[in-house]
């Protein structure tokens, strides 16, 4: 930012040219202005201001002389950190047809940078905004605008600018920068804006699917007002799939919930994974973990022995919930096609207690069967306001990244 501002000041000074050659510029005005220009080139801005004041003290100045004085004063004052003086000079000449659009933008940029260096963030923000209203396109200045908004406490402005930037990156096929997404998240937290918060977190897990981002996002999801306790197991599923599950307690609870839901094949997957990663089978409660594994094996045997009868009974039921559950269990056991067939039969039967849960589970089963395209399409049909639609959207993000 300092390099940009210094470059802008030099351009401002040099663009005036040899002030003694300006039309209708008398020597008593032109000579101190020439000296001021030389001092600006040497980085001696305060000394340059004194020379500008000498020129300004000349009586009976012409309009052209006054214009040239203010333009030189603007450059010197910006470099000297006398921002109010620079701003006043700019306002005095900004409407002049003698100022080209590029020069006008450089002047605004220099004033904005001076306010930024002075840590006057509200005014720096106003001038950077003016820069863009006047047609400026500098990415560096866009970044400085966002910085001034953040440092000045305008977090809604930060969220607005960054959201637009991220969406533009996506439209252009460019990867949004991780630090920009994190800044948006921080601004959303300070604002208490859940919408911007979720937007930022979902973009982070989409483009930078780190374990800590998924952990944070799923934790926020479960705290969302209206999120149903019924969906705890579904949340654990996504946590396990994304590699963000790590605690022994979570593995234990998920396995138990899977058994309670009539999904012993899923319970076995969870327990096996827990033992494989060292979350289960170690520590003071290792024996408890082994008892859970024994229980899972017992339930698997009971499920296999009763599966034919259970399936026959489910087919005779008035609603399709049991068929969906039996099929989902088979999908966890690697029987994706057979499981999905039963699940679709259950959905076709209708009268489901939780229809959106069933669609969510079908999509997960399709993913497990390797049909990501169908899974994506099915996730889009989930519309429950109790958290099922939120989970479906996050599963879709995970599926897209995995694909």
**HEC states along 170-205?**
HHCCCCCCHHHHHHHHHHHHHHCCHHHHHHHHHHHH
What's the mean pLDDT when you consider all of the chain?
90
- For the chain, which residues score pLDDT lower than 70? 1-23, 403
**Predicted model pTM:** 0.76
Per-residue model confidence (pLDDT) at position 81: 85
Per-residue model confidence (pLDDT) at position 197: 85
Task: Let me know if 393 is exposed, middle or buried by CB neighbors in 10 A (0-12, 13-18, 19+).
Answer: middle
End-to-end CA distance of the chain: 40
| H-type alpha helices, 317-335 | 321-332
Distance of CA 369 to the CA centre of its chain: 31
Beta carbons within 10 angstroms of residue 394's beta carbon: 23
The Cα–Cα gap between 200 and 155 comes to 14
Report the share of the chain in percent with pLDDT over 90. 78
Per-residue model confidence (pLDDT) at position 12: 56
Q: Where are the domains of the chain?
A: 2-153, 232-402
The answer to whether 208 touches 181, Cβ cutoff 8 Å, is yes
The Cα–Cα gap between 263 and 343 comes to 14
Non-local (6+) Cβ contacts of 301 within 8 A are none
Q: Which tokens go with 3?
A: 């390099």
Q: Using the 8-state DSSP alphabet, how is residue 45 labeled?
A: H
The answer to whether 391 touches 360, Cβ cutoff 8 Å, is yes
Q: Which tokens go with 65?
A: 């002389």
Beta carbons within 10 angstroms of residue 35's beta carbon: 18
Q: How far is CA 92 from CA 4, 69, 74, 137, in A?
A: 24, 11, 10, 24
The Cα–Cα gap between 184 and 360 comes to 30
Q: Which of 353, 358, 357, 366 is nearest to 396 (CA)?
A: 366
Q: What is the dihedral of CA 79, 83, 89, 91, to 10 degrees?
A: 130
The answer to whether 288 touches 251, Cβ cutoff 8 Å, is no
Same fold, 2-153 and 232-402: yes
Per-residue model confidence (pLDDT) at position 2: 47
Q: Which tokens go with 56?
A: 């300004």
The answer to whether 355 touches 363, Cβ cutoff 8 Å, is no
For 96, how many CA atoms within 13 A lie in the half-sphere containing its CB?
18
List strand residue ranges (DSSP E) for 264-321, in order.
Answer: none
The Cα–Cα gap between 113 and 128 comes to 8
3-state secondary structure of 119: coil
Q: How far is CA 131 from CA 90, 97, 150, 324, in A?
A: 13, 18, 18, 59
CATH of 232-402, one of 1.25.40.10, 3.50.50.60, 3.40.50.970, 1.10.3470.10: 1.25.40.10
3-state secondary structure of 60: coil
CATH of 2-153, one of 2.60.40.10, 3.40.50.300, 3.40.50.2300, 1.25.40.10: 1.25.40.10
The Cα–Cα gap between 343 and 367 comes to 14
The Cα–Cα gap between 175 and 352 comes to 41
Residue found under tokens 């001076």: 114
3-state secondary structure of 99: coil
Q: How far is CA 281 from CA 233, 256, 277, in A?
A: 22, 16, 10
Q: Which tokens go with 84?
A: 């109010």
Distance of CA 170 to the CA centre of its chain: 11
- Torsion sign over Cα 177, 178, 181, 182: negative
């Amino acid at each position: 930012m300092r390099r940009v501002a210094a470059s802008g000041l030099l351009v401002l000074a040099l663009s005036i040219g040899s002030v003694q050659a300006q039309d209708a510029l008398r020597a008593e005005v032109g000579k101190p202005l020439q000296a001021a220009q030389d001092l600006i080139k040497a980085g001696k801005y305060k000394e340059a201001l004194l020379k500008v004041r000498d020129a300004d003290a000349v009586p009976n100045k012409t309009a052209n002389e006054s214009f040239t004085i203010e333009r030189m004063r603007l450059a010197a004052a910006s470099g000297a950190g006398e921002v109010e003086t620079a701003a006043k000079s700019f306002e005095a000449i900004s409407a002049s047809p003698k100022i080209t659009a590029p020069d006008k933008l450089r002047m605004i940029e220099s004033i904005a940078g001076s306010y930024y260096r002075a840590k006057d963030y509200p005014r720096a923000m106003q001038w950077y905004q003016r820069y863009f209203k006047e047609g400026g396109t500098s990415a560096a200045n866009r970044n400085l605008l966002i910085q001034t908004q953040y440092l000045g406490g305008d977090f809604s402005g930060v969220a607005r600018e960054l959201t637009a930037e991220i969406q533009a990156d996506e439209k252009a096929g460019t990867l949004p920068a991780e630090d920009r997404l994190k800044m948006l998240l921080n601004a959303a937290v300070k604002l208490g804006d859940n919408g911007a918060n979720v937007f930022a977190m979902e973009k982070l897990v989409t483009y930078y699917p780190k374990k800590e981002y998924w952990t944070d996002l799923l934790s926020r999801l479960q705290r969302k007002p209206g999120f149903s306790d019924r969906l705890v197991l579904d949340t654990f599923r996504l946590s396990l799939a994304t590699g963000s599950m790590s605690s022994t307690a979570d593995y234990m609870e998920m396995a138990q919930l899977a058994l309670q839901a009539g999904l012993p094949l899923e319970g076995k997957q969870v327990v096996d994974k827990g033992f494989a990663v060292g979350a289960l089978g170690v520590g003071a409660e290792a024996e408890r973990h082994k008892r859970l594994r024994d229980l899972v094996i017992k339930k698997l045997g009971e499920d296999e022995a009763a599966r034919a009868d259970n399936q026959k009974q489910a087919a005779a039921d008035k609603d399709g919930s049991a068929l969906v559950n039996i099929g989902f269990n088979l999908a966890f056991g690697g029987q994706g096609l057979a499981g999905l067939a039963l699940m679709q039969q259950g959905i076709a039967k209708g009268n489901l207690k939780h229809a959106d849960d069933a669609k969510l589970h079908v999509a997960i089963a399709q993913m497990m069967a390797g049909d990501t395209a169908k899974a994506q399409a099915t996730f889009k049909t989930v519309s429950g306001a109790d958290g099922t639609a939120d989970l479906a959207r996050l599963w879709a993000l995970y599926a897209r990244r995995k694909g």
